[in-house]
Amino acid sequence: MRHAEFESFCQKVQSGQEAHVKHIVTHKIGKILSCHPEDYEFEVDVNGEHKTWIAENCKAED
């Protein structure tokens, strides 16, 4: 995921909108809870489990 797309997702979440990403290695879908711009990471919820995903391993979930 590019930085511009990462920032767009972070802005959505910060404004209260729901956003989901797909992990390109595990193929799991996570709901974004928060962003860590300094580390280029998402905090996500995957079926009730809290995970930290590097944005480079994520893509937009349609």
pLDDT of 62 reads 66
Q: What token pair was written down for 49?
A: 């489990």
| All domains of the chain in start order, with CATH | 3-60 (2.30.30)
**pLDDT at residue 61, as a whole number:** 86
| Per-run averaged pLDDT (10 residues), the chain, 62 residues | 95 96 98 96 98 97 76
Q: What is the pTM of this model?
A: 0.91
DSSP 6-60: HHHHHHHHHTT---EEEETTT--EEEEEEEETTTTEEEEEETTEEEEEEGGGEEE
